[in-house]
Amino acid sequence: MLNHFLTGVQSLSPRRKFYQDNRFVLSLWVFITLVFVIDSWATHRYNNYLIFENTFRNLLHERSLYAYYPAYHEDANHYGPIFSLLIAPFAIFHNWIGLLLWNLFNCFLLFKAIQTLPLTEDQKVAIGYIAIPCLIESMLNQQFNAGAGALMILSYTLLNKDKGIWSALCIVLGTFIKLYGVVGLVFFFFARKKPAFILWLVLWSVVIFLLPMLLASPAYVTHCYVDWKNSLVGKNMVNVLGGGIDVSIMGFFRELLDARKVPNFLFLSLGALLFMLPFVNLSCFGKHKFQLMILSSVMIFPVLFSTGAEDCTFIIPIIGVGIWYVKENNKAMKKVLLPVLLLITCNFPLLLFPVFAKSHPLSLAIISLPYFLVWVRIIYKATNNRFAYAEETEPEMVTALID
């Protein structure tokens, strides 16, 4: 038995250090999550979580899910009605326990989703480290963005494993909670059984729409969807007109050019055109390398072009950046673009000079610029014939980032 144990120990590569192990990355993620949960406990900063858990009580009592409740929290809810059921298992606990379980749930869900990607172990480790600055922001703000990112990943990886029924659920659930998930519909092009996939999308849409009616009346739930639409339109107007900080790429160019009257439609039309450009490569739909570039684009695009994006929302596109990084062959671009992106992502103006940053929105909106540059590079790679029609090869090991 001793010899067997020693053989097992010797089989571990001496070149593989502890911090190159996914279990260490998970431990680091959990540690970060716990640190910021404790910080929230100590500072009594529960506001976002209070907004979320209050939606469950409002559903039970058929009160508006999108009204302001200053007696309970600041601001208002902007998630879909189904979210009030998702938060229910956490809302039944005392707030400090519910917050702990909520943040851990989002942390584990995103980490597990990354593990389902068709990448090497080293590549997944690299993505785990790249995501840390945005993970900190997400855990600090107690948002569902990590979970939303996980649903995007799973909508692809489950379909890739020929589990269209569950992929469709992830797309529909992500859409009905935060709308971002709707871009996962482009994975339809990768489905082997397209008619069945469409059927599952329709069936899950009906189920998710009706599910809150288990606890509330049909008329109330139907009206909630109307209220949800109005809340999103109102939030968009506030951000565009300057009442909030618009950190989307649209907000960046508006601030840079001092052109607040440039309509979203113009940006969205150009963005959608670029987003769909790689799909001219019909023969590449079955190639994993091409599919991963599309997944990367899917995770970056909706945040870049959303006026409702916040700094804590970038936990979603940072995973797309990580996927791009481990598949990018241009080493010079990787060495320049990723460090710049991570430096800007840390949001030092807001951390060190909050008064200056809030009075100069461009210093905050610039966060979207490096993501936009990465996204343009992804679109180029996925559209470029040399890349698109290249022979599939085993993904190279990524150790530079973690050595």
pLDDT tens digits, one per residue of 179-209: 999 999 999 999 999 999 999 999 999 999 9
Residue 310 within any structural domain of the chain: yes
Query: Kind and range of the H or E element at 338?
Result: helix 331-345
Closest CA to 304 of 294, 318, 292, 293: 318
3-class secondary-structure state, position 206: helix
| 10, two tokens | 């010797």
Q: What is the number of residues in the chain?
A: 403
Question: DSSP secondary-structure letter at 258?
Answer: T
CA-based end-to-end distance of the chain: 34
Residue 108 within any structural domain of the chain: yes
Question: DSSP secondary-structure letter at 119?
Answer: S
Residue 211 within any structural domain of the chain: yes
Query: 51: domain range?
Result: 22-388
Residue 236 within any structural domain of the chain: yes
What is the C-alpha separation between 188 and 395, in angstroms, rounded? Answer: 24
Q: What is the total count of domains within the chain?
A: 1
What is the C-alpha separation between 150 and 372, in angstroms, rounded? Answer: 21
**pLDDT digit string, tens, across residues 90-119:** 999 999 999 999 999 999 999 999 999 999
Residue 244 within any structural domain of the chain: yes
Taking 80 as the threshold, does the pLDDT of residue 151 lie above it? Answer: yes
Closest CA to 204 of 222, 185, 223, 189: 185
**pLDDT digit string, tens, across residues 261-296:** 777 888 899 999 999 999 998 888 888 899 999 999
Residue 83 within any structural domain of the chain: yes
**pLDDT score at 235:** 82
- Could you tell me which residues come within 8 angstroms of residue 403 by beta carbon, excluding any fewer than 6 positions away? 20
Query: Kind and range of the H or E element at 308?
Result: none
**pLDDT score at 256:** 86
Per-residue pLDDT band at 402 (split at 50, 70, 90): low
Residue 8 within any structural domain of the chain: no
